[in-house]
Amino acid sequence: MSQLPESGFLRLPQIIGDTKRGIPAVIPVSKSAWWEGCRNGRYPKPVKLGPRTTAWSVDSIRALIASSK
């Protein structure tokens, strides 16, 4: 959790990782598994920042990590 910023928003590659860009996964699941989890309530709901920009609050990701321990 030390790689997460103090506040703000995270884009999907920052959460599930991106090996091509060298971004480590905070929550190691596939993209389709992440979106399915968002739909069924397992993972936090996304926030639309713009017409083509979706993100998740750092606080909701921290809470998810804390609840899974």
Which pLDDT score is estimated for 1? 55
pLDDT at residue 68, as a whole number:
85
31 and 20 Cβ atoms separated by less than 8 Å: no
pLDDT band, residue 8 (cuts 50/70/90): very high
Residue 2 lies in a domain: no
- Backbone conformation region of residue 24, classed left if phi is above 0, alpha if psi is from -120 to 50, else beta: beta
**Cross-strand partners of 10:** 56
Is residue 16 in a domain? yes
Q: How many domains does the chain have?
A: 1
- When the pLDDT of each residue in the chain is averaged and rounded to a whole number, the result is 94
Domain-located, residue 4: no
Model's pTM, two decimal places? 0.90
Domain interval for residue 43: 9-67
pLDDT digits (tens, 9 = 90+) for 24-55: 999 999 999 999 999 999 999 999 999 999 99
